[in-house]
Structure 1
Amino acid sequence: MLFAQQGYRVLLLEKARFPQDTLSSHYIHQPGISLLGRWGLLDELRAAGCPPIDRESYEGPGVRLDGFSLPVDGHRTTYAPRRFVLDPILAAGAVAAGVEFRESCAVTDLVFDDDRVVGVRYTTPGGAEATDRARLVVGADGMRSLVARKVGAGNVVEHPRMSCVYYSYWAGVPAGFEVYERPGRWMVAAPTNDDLTLIMTYFPQDEFSEVRKEVEPAYLEAVRSTSPELYERMSAGERVEQMYGTGHQENYFRKAYGPGWVLLGDAVHHKDSITARGITDAFIQARSLTEHIGERLHDPAALDEALKRYEEDLEDTFSDVYQGALNVAELKPEGRTEMLRKLVGHQELIDRFFSTVSGACSFDDFYNAELLAVLDQN
């Protein structure tokens, strides 16, 4: 959409046929909501019936915090839309901008001219093979990116898997945006489309082999032992979909670009989903990439410099967020909850804490003189 608005011809290939769901925590933080507003897509999301979220609660050992992230560009309300709702809205926005959109087209290979990527090969909905050439191939094709594999884009930063996650959707379980934590467990509840509530449970990675054998009992026991009150609400409701989950949550930054190609979203940077930053971060990357390229697509030297700056922005923008997600995904809340207990009664600091997760406030801005004074007093 953003490239088309700059006047470029764009072909968007999607292997799924919409509407289709995908494995996702699907929460959008304030910076992502701000970009949807800027792009003219926020009204479409609201019209799709996703409940607005304007308050968050966190319960950890010996502490409860209530508040919400600070606004970004005036947007404080957030949403957790199902992906079969969100993705068609994004695709329709691209088509409206002039993008040629083809569903049920699975990319199978890249086309090279010497060491430069100059196009893609893919299968059409009818099963035929097709080839299209392009000045730039953007691999926004996920953690298992074919584009990354074909160009040999290795990891430049990498950490072990930290957690595994299972979730499902519940009817008759009223909930706001709720987070519960104890050693070895992390729970999230959030309202989504069709009056359903998304309830997610996180376990340490080293428990994955056992949890996957008996997913539902492990899931329910995790909720019961972490938040009995949420468990009571679930007991009065009904699970209306299957259990979804994964233990394959990789943590990395990949090489972001090369001759004729660039990576975006989970293809270039993936972290544990426990802080639900994937969609928001992909939006931020899309803005960064298209702004850096601007009118430089047809100037090889200028394009290479723009892609280099995009790669540098990835590290500058997401390094702290990445480390923050890994810290939470350790599922060892003791040090963090000791600090959070000292925030009780200081609403501005509570909201700023929530803002570090959303991206509305940097970690450097959070650890300011006011916070240090409160910590010293206690």
Structure 2
Amino acid sequence: MLFARQGYRVLLLEKAQFPRDTLSSHYIHQPGVALLDRWGLLGDLRDAGCQPIDQQSYTAPGVRLAGFSLPVDGNRTTYAPRRFVLDPILAAGAVAAGVEFRESCEVTDLLFDGDRVVGVQYTTPGGAVATDRAWLVVGADGMRSVVARRAGAGNVIEHPRMTCTYYSYWAGVPAHFELYERPGRWIGVIPTNDDLTLVMTYFPQAEFTRVRTRVEAAYLEAVRATAPALYERMAAGRRVERLYGTGQQENYFRKAFGPGWVLLGDAVHHKDSITARGITDAFIQARLLTERIGQGLHDEAALEVALKAYEEDLRDEFLNLYQGVLNVAELRPEGRTELLGKLVGHQELIDRYFSTVSGACSLDDFYNDELLAVLDQS
């Protein structure tokens, strides 16, 4: 969509047939909502019936915080749309900008001229093999990116898997954006479309083999032991879909670009979903990439400079967030809850803390003189 708005011809190949769901925590933080607003798509999301979210809480042994992230460009309300709602909205926005959109087309290989990528090979909805050429191939094809694999984009930063997660959807369970933690467990609760509530449970990666053999029992026990009041709400409601989950919560930055190709979203950078950063970060990357390239796509030297700057942007924008996610994904809240307990009674600091997770406030800005004064008093 953004490339088309800059005047470029764009072909968008989508493996799925819409509407289709996918593994996702759904949540769009304030910076992501602000970009949807800037791009003119936020109204479509609201019209799709996604519940607005304007309250957040975090509960752990000895501490409970309630508040919400600071706004970004005037947008404080957030949303957690199902992917079969969000993805068609994004695709429709692209088509409206002039993109040629083809569904049920799975990219299987890249085309090369020497060491430069010049296009893709893919299967059509009828099963035939087709090719299309392009000056730039953008691999926004997820954690198992074919573009990354065929281009040889190795990991430049990598950490072991930290958690595994299982989740489902519940009717009759009213909620805001709720987070619960105890050693070894994390529960996320998010309202979504159709008056349903997403309840996600997180376990240490070391427990994945055990949990996957008794998913429902482990899921319910995690909620009961971590968030008893939520467990009671769930008992009064009903689960309306099966349990979904994964143990493949990879943590990495990949090489972002090469001759004729660039990576975006989970293809270039993936981290544990425990803080629900994926969608928001992909939107930010789309903005960074298209702004860096600007009108210089067909100038080889200018494109090289732009892609190198984009790669540096990824480190600048996301490395601190990445480290923060890994800290949370350790599922060892003791040190964090000691700090957060000192924020109780200081609403502005609570909101600023939530803003560090959303990306509305940097960690450097959070650790300001006001916070240091509160910590010193404690």
Displacement of 1:173 in angstroms is 0.7
Alignment-derived partner of residue 92 in structure 1: 92
What is the rounded CA distance, in whole Å, between the counterparts of 1:176 and 1:25 in structure 2? 14
Residue 12 of structure 1: CA displacement? 0.1
Point out 4+ residue stretches in structure 1 off by more than 6 angstroms: none
- Structure 2 unaligned blocks of 5 or more: none
CA distance in 2, matches of 1:184, 1:152: 36
Alpha-carbon distance between aligned partners in 2 of 1:109 and 1:162, rounded to the nearest angstrom: 31
Q: How does 1:1-378 map to 2 (within 5 A)?
A: 1-378=1-378
Amino acid at match of 1:276: A
What secondary structure sits across from 2:198 in the alignment?
strand
- CA distance in structure 2 between the aligned counterparts of 1:20 and 1:174, rounded to whole angstroms: 25
Q: CA deviation at 1:2?
A: 0.2
User: Which whole-Å CA distance do the structure 2 matches of 1:189 and 1:129 have between them?
Assistant: 43
- Please report how far the alpha carbon of residue 116 of structure 1 lies from its aligned counterpart in structure 2 after TM superposition: 0.2
Please state how far the C-alpha of 1:211 moved relative to its aligned partner: 0.2
- Provide the C-alpha distance between the structure 2 equivalents of 1:60 and 1:364, rounded to a whole number of angstroms: 24
Alpha-carbon deviation of 1:150? 0.2
Q: Deviations over 1:289-325 (max 9, x none)?
A: 0000001111000000000000000000000000000
CA distance in 1 between partners of 2:60 and 2:372 (Å): 21
Output one character per residue of 1:36-87: Cα deviation in whole Å (capped at 9) or x when no partner: 0000000000000000000001101100000000000000000000000000
- Rounded Cα–Cα distance in structure 2 between residues aligned with 1:39 and 1:31: 12
Spell out, residue by residue over 1:110-159, the C-alpha distance to the aligned partner (whole angstroms, 9 max, x if none). Answer: 00000000000001001111100000000000000000000110000000
After TM superposition, give the deviation of residue 226 of structure 1 in Å: 0.3
Superposed CA offset, 1:275-294 (max 9, x none): 00000000000000000000
How far residue 227 of structure 1 moved from its aligned partner, in angstroms, is: 0.6
Superimposed CA distance per residue, residues 327-347 of structure 1 (whole angstroms, 9 cap, x where no aligned partner): 000000000000000000000
Deviation at 1:107, TM superposition (A): 0.5
d(CA) in 1 for partners of 2:377 and 2:162?
34
1:195-252 Cα distance to aligned partner (Å, 9 max, x none): 1000000000000000000000000000000010000000011100010000000000
**TM-score in terms of structure 1 length:** 1.00
CA distance in 2, matches of 1:55, 1:109: 45
Q: Secondary structure, in 3 states, of the residue corresponding to 2:22?
A: coil
Question: How far has the Cα of 1:185 moved from its partner?
Answer: 0.4
CA displacement at 1:22 relative to structure 2: 0.2
**Distance of 2:204 and 2:259 partners within structure 1:** 39
User: What is the identity, as a one-letter code, of the residue corresponding to 1:305?
Assistant: V
CA distance in 1, matches of 2:105, 2:242: 27
Secondary structure (helix, strand or coil) at the match of 2:144 reads coil
1:350: how far off? 0.1
In structure 1, what is the Cα distance between the partners aligned to 2:144 and 2:323?
21
| Distance in structure 2 (CA, Å) of the matches to 1:173 and 1:348 | 29
Q: Which amino acid aligns with 2:370?
A: E
What is the root-mean-square deviation of aligned Cα atoms in Å?
0.4
Distance (Å, rounded) in 2 between the aligned partners of 1:151 and 1:194: 41
Deviations 1:6-35 (A, max 9, x none): 000000000000000000001000000000
Give unpaired runs (5+ residues) of structure 1.
none
Task: Give the paired residue count.
Answer: 378
Alignment partners' CA distance in 1, 2:6 and 2:254? 27
Which amino acid is the alignment partner of residue 144 of structure 1?
A: R
Query: Matches of 1:140 and 1:274 in 2, distance apart?
Result: 21
Q: Deviations over 1:173-195 (max 9, x none)?
A: 11111100000000011110011
Q: How far, CA to CA, are the matches of 1:269 and 1:368 in structure 2?
A: 29
Q: TM-score, normalised by structure 2?
A: 1.00
Distance 1:176 1:77 in 2: 12
One-letter amino acid matched to 1:321: L
Distance 2:3 2:275 in 1: 29
Distance in 1 (alpha carbons) for counterparts of 2:37 and 2:188: 26
